[in-house]
Amino acid sequence: CYTIISSSPIIWVEAMRKCIDIGGQLASIPTRRVQAFLTTKMAESANTDLWIGLSAFKQDGFYWTDGKARKYTNWGYSTNRRRLGSFYQRWDEEECVVLTSSSTFGIGKWFIKTCNDTNGFICQQDVGKKWPPRPDPAISNIYVTLGNDSIKLVTKNLTWDDAKRHCEGDSAHLASLRNEWTQAYAELLAMNLKAPLWIGLNKQINGYFRYVDGWHLSSAGWAVGEPSRDRPCVYLDVDGKWKTAFCNRTMNSVCKQSTDLPPTESSIFPGICPQETNEEYRQSYVWLPFKGHCYVFITDEIEWADAASSCVRHGGTLASIEDPSEQEFIKSYVEIFQDSHSAFWVGLYKTHGGDWKWLDKTVLDYINWAEDEPDNDYGQIETADGIWRTGRRWHDRAYICKTPKVMPVDSESGKAEPHGGQDPRSRVHTSLIIVLIITITSTLIVVAFFLYKKSPRSLPTFDNPLYFDRERSQPDVVDTNKLIENAEVENPEPIITL
């Protein structure tokens, strides 16, 4: 039995004493099932972080106060388990663990704090041997409220489409698991039912995984090896992981009603791309705009880790690909290099646990793997057909960097110009000026050509505008007109080649 006390925050030792006074102890969390249960309860009542019975004293490691082995963990951050801002633990410092109530970090995640902080707490009381074994909690077929959401289990074996229609009959949708408490509650339903559940996620409509209630993925719980290239519908398995299946398979499902409305999608993407010049090496990089981001295609062939570092130095990250339209944009440019480069690195990598993630933390909601992939550890996009394949750590590839657009800065005030502040007529004038410049430039090129014909002297070579280097090795020369044509077709903004 568990009790959450959040009305009077106290330090960890006092919380432990309070639990002992009522015949229990600070809660331990030995399994994912207990974690899921407590997460759903926190969504109902907690307005502060909550102490649990996990602590570390004088660098001896973390132990549960009830003496149970620490087999399960749910740390809110993996690479550094110390407190935020604390690089290491002092020899005499005591550290204790809370379940965070912050939706930013993830409700129910474990975070380390000094034991003298004040927080709410969770007590547990073991059921004595005199009590008979309790059956699993009753499986409810009515809507249960969790925050702004209401969730119902449907215990009928239906195909994904039939399950979707069934929920719509309740003025609901197949459930979107957009936060920790709906995920945790759906997990408990699957565990209690001992059967998988359809959720409202598939890629049949837009070609990438998206919830049927209009929300995009903000987090994902894919099992290892998921999502599949060929199976478009998603279910929650009894282990709490998301898996894909063919939509004509039948299983139980989860419906959800919510007062939250998905954001309206915009077709306007304000901002400009950076203009970057490295005077030391006489290099220029042209960032190409697409929707809300900018991209640069760098033809130096280096290892994936070096490419990732290079993109950071340029103010971006190795590129992620979020949907079919972004895939087509990138494909249209890498195809230009297929005579000289087989593939470009992108920011996709396999974790030690076998999961595939984007380096920029974009949620994996779209894939374009070749049939026999993924096989190695790092993602690349083929220049011949745009298909994704994988490479080894030591392979050398060209690479693609990506960065968000930035708002132009007013030269007088030094502040970013707000979107919509530019007069539409000035945009027309700007476009006319650009057209005029292009026309004059073309005329000058024609004149120069005829002068060249009459003169024995040769004109200097014309470098690749996407990337050039005069002092180091010369990258492959591509047709500049193709780049500009593609940029003008794909993007409303003008492309400035340096």
**What pLDDT digit, counting tens, does each position of 325-369 carry?**
999 999 999 999 999 999 999 999 999 989 999 999 999 999 999
CA atoms of 184 and 42, how far apart (whole Å): 11
Half-sphere exposure of 246 (CA within 13 A, CB side): 2
Q: What is the pLDDT of residues 159-188, one digit of tens each?
A: 999 999 999 999 999 999 998 889 999 999
Q: Quick one: residue 297, left, alpha or beta (phi over 0 = left, psi -120 to 50 = alpha)?
A: beta
Shared domain check, 379 and 342: yes
pTM of the complete model: 0.72
Residue 465 placed within a domain: yes
Say if residue 354 is in the same domain as residue 497.
yes
> Where a domain ends, among 208, 242, 258?
258
Q: How far apart are CA 424 and CA 411, in angstroms?
A: 20
Last residue of a domain, one of 208, 238, 258: 258
End-to-end CA distance of the chain: 68
Residues 445, 384 within the same domain: yes
Contacts with 473 (C-beta within 8 Å, 6 or more apart), sequence order: none
254 and 280 assigned to the same domain: no
Regions of the chain with pLDDT less than 50: 78-81, 83-91, 129-135, 137, 281, 419-432, 435, 457-498
Are 363 and 377 in contact by the 8 Å Cβ rule? The answer is: no
What six digits make up the tokens of 187?
């997990």
What integer pLDDT is reported at residue 80 of this predicted model? Answer: 40
Q: Give the residue from 124, 155, 185 where a domain finishes.
A: 124
303-332 pLDDT, tens digit per residue, is 999 999 999 999 999 999 999 999 999 999
Residues comprising the chain, all counted: 498
Phi, psi (5° rounding) for residue 380? -145, 155
Q: Say how far apart CA 453 and CA 52 lie, in whole Å.
A: 84
- Report whether the peptide linkage leading into residue 227 is cis, meaning its omega lies within 30 degrees of zero: yes
**Has residue 59 been placed in a domain?**
yes
pLDDT of res. 480:
37
Which pLDDT belongs to residue 44? 73
| One-letter-per-residue 3-state SS of 440-463 | HHHHHHHHHHHHHHHCCCCCCCCC
Tally of domains within the chain: 3
Residue 18 makes CB contacts below 8 A (sequence gap 6+) with 5, 10, 121, 123
Rounded CA separation 118/94 (Å): 14
* Domain boundaries, position 78: 2-124
Token match 């060209």: residue? Answer: 398
Domain CATH code at residue 183 = 3.10.100.10
Alpha-carbon gap, residue 149 to 200, rounded angstroms: 14
My answer on whether 326 and 247 are in the same domain is no
What is the overall mean pLDDT for the chain?
Answer: 81
Rounded CA separation 310/293 (Å): 18
Residues 98, 225 share a domain: no
Contact at 8 Å (CB) between 195 and 238?
A: yes
Indicate whether 480 belongs to any domain. Answer: yes
Do 382 and 280 fall within a single domain?
Answer: yes
Can you give the pLDDT at residue 402?
A: 98
Considering the domain architecture, whether residues 219 and 275 belong to the same structural domain is answered as no
Query: How many whole angstroms from its chain centre is CA 410?
Result: 32
Statement to judge: residues 157 and 208 lie in one domain? yes
